[in-house]
Amino acid sequence: MDIRLSGVSHSYDDFEVLRDISLDIPSGKIVCIVGPSGCGKSTLLRFIGGLEKPTRGEVLQIGSPPADCLNPLTYIFQDFALLPWRSVRGNISLVLEDQGIRGPRAEAIIADVLTRTKLSEFHKALPKQLSGGMKQRVAIARALAVNPAVMLMDEPLSALDSQTRELLMDDLVSLWSRTPFTAVYVTHNLAEAVRLGHSIVVMSRRPGEIREVVHLETPLDQRHYGDSALEEKQKYLWHLMREEARAADAELVHV
């Protein structure tokens, strides 16, 4: 299932947030969205997820989700959103219970996503017993359990230290390489964008417009820390954003 944004604009009264966003998100690709603080990245993600409607324009779902998809559009948040009284297995099973799936079918799905996210031996652990990186793995496993058509990822690694972030980026690449998924990935971190994105949407400061869409040809599993080509892409992204980021920062301080 593809996602198409056509002329999406949004204002809160006289406060213009987004202006004329048109974008295609193809099935099986990870599209990263970067831009200055306050440019409307998370607002755009809410429109894609159907949590809000834009003032103008439309968000279209092109084609059908996978036959075994339980929830076409599934979020992964930076704060993990785990229930503290439920174990790893219990947090994953919750999304299946919501779909009326229990018994052997649920157990098979849970076992599969625990294996894919390297959590099998931690299935009985409570969130308080897990590191931040492990908690985010649980959130990813929970999202995978419903086999979404599109994963909507809002700064999913921003609360983690740099080492854990690198490890989880490796995990995401490994997951995608085994079973390609579609994702819209909002981040402030340009290193994450060039590590994970098949394309990177660079937005201007508010009102957010698309400045450029940067495509990366290097396969995900061939990208690595210290790669000179990726570092050049990261520098180019910062070149596109630097003055916009300074202006946006000045606006935020003024407010």
| pTM attached to this predicted model | 0.92
User: How far apart are the two ends of the chain, measured CA to CA in Å?
Assistant: 40
DSSP string over 174-234: HHHHHS---EEEE-S-HHHHHHH-SEEEEEPSSSB-EEEEEE--S-GGG--TT-HHHHHHH
Cross-strand partners of 11: 16
Q: How far apart are CA 119 and CA 137, in angstroms?
A: 8
Give pLDDT tens digits for 15-57: 899 999 999 999 999 999 999 988 999 999 999 999 999 999 9
Q: Taking the CB of residue 62, how many other CB atoms lie within 10 A of it?
A: 12
Q: How far apart are CA 172 and CA 192, in angstroms?
A: 11
Secondary structure class of 114 (helix, strand, coil)? helix
Report pLDDT for 225: 74
The mean of the pLDDT values for the chain is 91
Q: Taking the CB of residue 99, how many other CB atoms lie within 10 A of it?
A: 12
Give pLDDT tens digits for 197-223: 999 999 999 899 999 999 999 999 998
Give pLDDT tens digits for 73-96: 999 988 888 999 999 999 999 999
Q: Which residue has the tokens 């070149």?
A: 239
* Torsion angle (degrees, nearest 10) of CA 41, 20, 18, 245: 70
